[in-house]
Amino acid sequence: MFKMIQNFFPLFVTSVILLFTFFSGAWKQWRRFYSSALFYICVQFGISYLTYEHTLWHFKESAITPNHVVTDFFIAFTNFVPMVILYLSWYPFQSRWMKQAAYVMAWIVTFAIIESTFNFLGLITFHNSWNLCWSIVVWAATFIVIRIHHTKPILAWAICLGCTAFLILWFDIPVSKLK
């Protein structure tokens, strides 16, 4: 039973995100948030490239993805694009900062729980001093920067470059060995 849950949990998460995005009507606003979705995919692929030889996290195979790279692409296109669209389509732009902070926090907690479950099921492992706490910090930065990108894309790119430089230095990612 555990093996079946382990194999199909990624498909379950993807299905929930896609169905929620579709049935909530968020997809109707995809053009409005498309650039932020592409931004997040670019950032995600950039980090994946930088950490390819110095893995911080590793996705295990499942029933639908045979290896880490395929899983990375699968998540980027089937989970992250609708995630960004959902996140921004419901974002309380006109609300006070406390409501916005609570909204962002709800998304951070949700994705921390999802990643914790992936880790519990053995679908993701952490390496080179990475752990779930770092993932939560990255989820926090992710949701804050996606919001910033929607209105100030240059600032979002600058923040991402700064965060990437920090990660390279903190986790001793050997960029000099990249092809």
- Tens-digit pLDDT profile for residues 56-105: 999 998 888 899 999 999 999 999 999 999 999 999 999 999 999 999 99
Closest CA to 89 of 41, 32, 37: 32
Is-contact 59 123, C-beta < 8 A?
A: yes
Tokens describing residue 59:
């996705």
pLDDT higher than threshold 80 for residue 133:
yes
pLDDT higher than threshold 90 for residue 179:
no
Burial class (CB in 10 A: 0-12, 13-18, 19+), 47: buried
Question: What per-residue confidence (pLDDT) applies to 177?
Answer: 81
pLDDT higher than threshold 90 for residue 15:
yes
Classify 59 as helix, strand or coil: strand
Question: What per-residue confidence (pLDDT) applies to 2?
Answer: 80
Q: Kindly report whether the global pTM for this prediction surpasses the value 0.85.
A: yes
Is-contact 146 104, C-beta < 8 A?
A: no
Question: What per-residue confidence (pLDDT) applies to 5?
Answer: 86
Is-contact 128 55, C-beta < 8 A?
A: yes
pLDDT higher than threshold 90 for residue 173:
yes
How does DSSP assign 120-155, residue by residue? HTTSEEE-TT--HHHHHHHHHHHHHHHHHHHH-HHH
- Which band of pLDDT confidence, cut at 50, 70 and 90, is reported for residue 128? very high
Question: What per-residue confidence (pLDDT) applies to 6?
Answer: 84
Question: What per-residue confidence (pLDDT) applies to 34?
Answer: 95
- Which band of pLDDT confidence, cut at 50, 70 and 90, is reported for residue 3? confident
Q: What stretch of H or E contains 14?
A: helix 2-23
